[in-house]
Amino acid sequence: MSSPASHFINGEWIDAGIEALESFESYSGELLWSGQHAGESEVDAAMQAAKSAWPAWSGLDVHRRIDILKKYQNHLRDHQLQISELIARENGKPLWEAKTEAAALIGKVDATINSWNVRCTDQHMEVGTAQGRTRQQSLGVCVVLGPFNLPAHLANGQIVPALLAGNTIVFKPSEVCPAVGAYLVDIFSKCLPKGVINLVQGDVRSGKALLAHEDVAAVFFTGSYRGGAAIHKHFAGRPEIMLALEMGGNNPLVVWEAKDLEAAALLMVQSAFITAGQRCVCARRLIIPEGEEGDAYIDALLAMMKRIRVGDPMSDEEPFMSGVIHEQASEQVLSSQAALIADGAKVLALCERIDEAHPTLLSPGLLDVTGLEVEDEEIFGPLLQVYRVPDFQSAINEANNTAYGLSAGLISDNKKLYDQFIAQIRAGIVNWNRQITGASGNMPFGGIGQSGNHRAAAWHAVDFCHYTCASIEADTLSLGALPTGIQEHGDE
């Protein structure tokens, strides 16, 4: 893909920076995009442009901003196939899945407008002899730091509500998916006044320059706990900065008293291995009973795993999953697996490279780690860990045995077990007899603990994009009754 330039600042594409930045197709390794890492001068120019554009943009009637976002939505429809193909090539997910992401971009506009109309409408009321009114006010310049795993959808899911609320944007995509970020901003640029959205490319150095800028009003981040914690620490003692941090999870999936083994196995596969295990909501820990019931679940899962097609994301013979984002990521997954095996994990299915010519392709792996002291960390790839427990309460205890709290799920025919599960589980997203990677844009999305800072996205994203101003108003000035302690007349 050839983009107009590296960065989009104040309505213009520019090439400048501190160092060359390149992006390669995940599957083939071929060069896809080239540009530059933003330095402090590019970051400052983008922030200044957003700051200058903010008064006029926030001053527009919200219905006018909605009209502009609907035009953006139409442009997304016109470019849906191109977006899908670019995501598949740069990110490496199968084209069928990339198409679902491109469709989600379009749906996000309507979902955001509907959420705003439900959650953010102005209120009018009588307050004594005056009128009470609430208004939704924008925050200012919002910095959006995007992830690589859903490089268009997750960034779009923060940018659209921020724009609707009247904020202006400086967006830094993941440095491993700059092409998708550039394409998305190019579509925005066809609809928005100059300066309302700005793009800077780069790695952590560019991100740090953004966070250090004096005009930051809000930071919306999706990524690792380590990255989110660093941002939180950076703004310690600055409560005026709005932070919305989504940081992944070490997510549990419990299977208990499930009769349809094939259906259960399919939900396990969809929960653990979609996007090659690179979704923040993917199941990392499978918790099942000891004994024959648990053995049956393992046998069914292994049989379903053998049916998974892994391959070229653009192949006509569509795979269920393709590779991880890059070779380094595959090495990290294999290294984590090796460490678990060295500590005593039992191999049920080895995660391994399928094709040395395409080192990002990994087969799905399954390890039994029952009884081991396993580090509470998110292995971001197609590797699922099995825990065998004696009873259902132990299953819940094991599920909660994590500092994270993003997603969790129960596969079971027993509603009483689900009632117990939902009452005790600590997670922001809890599904029953559905894959835990399934989420609705018409519901909140977010976690607790090390998974986030209680700023749910999706349907609730509008909440962290504005503040509510409460006013008591009277259109005439009158003396009225004097308060206690004020004399009727002054001293003569």
Q: How many domains does the chain have?
A: 2
Residues 276 and 390 both lie in one domain: yes
**73 with 94, same domain?**
yes
pLDDT at 359: 95
CB count within 10 Å of CB 194 equals 15
Exactly one of 120, 142, 177, 280 is catalytic; name it: 280
Res 491: pLDDT: 62
For residue 488, being part of any structural domain is answered with no
Same domain, 226 and 303: no
Q: Is residue 138 part of a domain?
A: yes
In a shared domain, residues 76 and 190:
yes
- For 293, the domain range is 251-432
Q: Is residue 437 part of a domain?
A: no
Is the residue at 68 inside a domain? yes
**pLDDT at position 479, please?**
87
My answer on whether 140 and 220 are in the same domain is: yes
Q: CATH number, domain at 415?
A: 3.40.309.10
Residue 285 lies in a domain: yes
Structure-token pair, residue 300: 């069914």
Query: Do 236 and 256 fall within a single domain?
Result: no
CATH number at residue 37: 3.40.605.10
Query: Could you tell me if 234 and 260 lie in one domain?
Result: no
Catalytic member of 101, 246, 378, 465:
246
| Domain end (from 402, 432, 462) | 432
Q: Which of 163, 190, 186, 199 is nearest to 64 (CA)?
A: 163
* Shared-domain flag, residues 163 and 286: no
Q: Are residues 257 and 361 in the same domain?
A: yes
Question: Does 371 fall in a domain?
Answer: yes
240 carries an active-site annotation: no
How confident is the model at residue 490, as a pLDDT? Answer: 67
Domain final residue, candidates 432, 465, 487: 432
Per-residue pLDDT of the chain (492 residues; tens, 9 = 90+): 456 789 999 999 999 999 999 999 999 999 999 999 999 999 999 999 999 999 999 999 999 999 999 999 999 999 999 999 999 999 999 999 999 999 999 999 999 999 999 999 888 999 988 899 999 999 999 999 999 999 999 999 999 999 999 999 999 999 999 999 999 999 999 999 999 999 999 999 999 999 999 999 999 999 999 999 999 999 999 999 999 999 989 999 999 999 999 999 999 999 999 999 999 999 999 999 999 999 999 999 999 999 999 999 999 999 999 999 999 999 999 999 999 999 999 999 999 999 999 999 999 999 999 999 999 999 999 999 999 999 999 999 999 999 999 999 999 999 999 999 999 999 999 999 999 998 888 999 999 999 999 999 999 999 999 999 999 999 999 888 899 999 888 665
280 as an active site residue: the answer is yes
Q: What is the 3-state secondary structure (H, E, C) of the chain?
A: CCCCCCEEECCEEECCCCEEEEEECCCCCCEEEEEEECCHHHHHHHHHHHHHHHHHHHHCCHHHHHHHHHHHHHHHHHCHHHHHHHHHHHHCCCHHHHHHHHHHHHHHHHHHHHHHHHHCCCCEEEECCEEEEEEEEECCEEEEECCCCCCCHHHHHHHHHHHHCCCEEEEECCCCCHHHHHHHHHHHHCCCCCCCEEECCCCHHHHHHHHCCCCEEEEEEECCHHHHHHHHHHCCCCCCCEEEEECCCCEEEEECCCCCHHHHHHHHHHHHHHHHHCCCCCEEEEEEECCHHHHHHHHHHHHHHCCCCECCCCCCCCCCECCCCCHHHHHHHHHHHHHHHHCCCEEEECCCECCCCCCCCECCEEEECCCCCCCCCCCCCCEEEEEEECCHHHHHHHHCCCCCCCEEEEECCCHHHHHHHHHHCCCCEEEECCCCCCCCCCCEECCCHHHECCCCEECCHHHHHEEEEEEEECCCCCCCCCCCCCCCCCCC
Residue 56 and residue 165 share a domain: yes
Kindly state whether residue 305 falls inside one of the protein's structural domains.
yes
Q: What is the pTM of this model?
A: 0.94
> What is the structure's pLDDT at 1?
43
Whether residues 86 and 209 fall in one domain: yes
Examine residue 36 and state whether it is found in any structural domain, yes or no: yes
Tell me: do 54 and 145 sit in the same domain.
yes
